[in-house]
Structure 1
Amino acid sequence: MNEAIAMIRACMIALQDRQKSYADPKHRYVEFQVGNHVFLRISPMKVIKRFGKKGKLCPRFVGPFEILERIVEVAYSYEALDMQQDLSYEEKPIKILDKKEKELRNKMIRLVKVLWKNGSAKDATWELETDMMEQYPQLFRYAEERATTGD
C-alpha cells in the first residue's frame, strides 16, 4: 500500500512539474518604479454598479494612478480611492465637456458629456442632463460661471 501511495505521489509531482514548465514561459514578472502610472483591476461582481453601469459594460480597470513609493517587492503605495467594503467606489465627475439634444420619437432629451475623475477625455460619457443636475448641481453652476466669464 505504501509503495502504491509513493508511486502516485511521484506521478503527481511529475505532472505538476510538466504543467509548471508549460505555464512559466507565459508568465511575465513586472516591476514598477516610483513615478510610473498603473491601472488597478476591479473585482468583477455582478451586483455592484460602477460608473452607473453594471455587467459587461462595467469597466474592469480604474486609473491611471501614479506610484508614490515601493513598500516591498510586490506592494506599492498609490493615490488612494474611497473604496467601500464591497470593493466598489463612487466615480465623481470633474466637469461637463459638451452638451447636445437628441430627438426621440416625439420628444427631445438633453445630454451632457461628463469627464470623470479617474478617467481621460476619451472615457467621458454622455449622461442625461436631468440626472446629472439632480446628482451633481455644482457642475452646472461651474459651467454657467465659465460661460458668463467667457472662459
Structure 2
Amino acid sequence: MAPFEALYRRKCRSPIEWFDAFEVRPWGTDLLRESLDKVKQIQKNLLAAQSRQKEYADRKVLDLEFMVGKQVLLKVSPMKDKNLSYEEEPIKILDGEVCKLRSKEIASVKVQWKNRPVEEAT
C-alpha cells in the first residue's frame, strides 16, 4: 500500500492518471479545430451570461419622474473643447478671527464671493 493511500484511505489522483495512456490525441489541424470550437462555445456562454445580467439590471432600473420645485443633483462631465467651470472671485472680507494654539496662531476669515449671497459666505 502506498503511503498516500495509508494516510488518506484513497488512491492518489495524479495528473498521470487523468488521461488514458492509449487515447488517441489530435494533432495539427484537428487540435486547432477543437480549440476554436471550445473558444466559440466559451464566447456563446459569456454572451448568454452577459445578456442575463443585462436583463436583470434592466428590471431593476426605474423610470425617474421629476416634479416642479424638486431639487435634483445632476452629474455633468465637461466636453473636451468646452470649459464649463468658472472662477469664484472674493468681494469682501466679512469677519476675521485668530485661533491660538499652544505654539501657533491660525487666522481664519469669512469671505463673501461674487455671484453668491451673503448667507453662502465661507
The alignment's TM-score, normalised by the length of structure 1, stands at 0.32
Say which one has the larger Rg: 2
Higher percent of residues as strand: 1
The alignment's TM-score, normalised by the length of structure 2, stands at 0.37
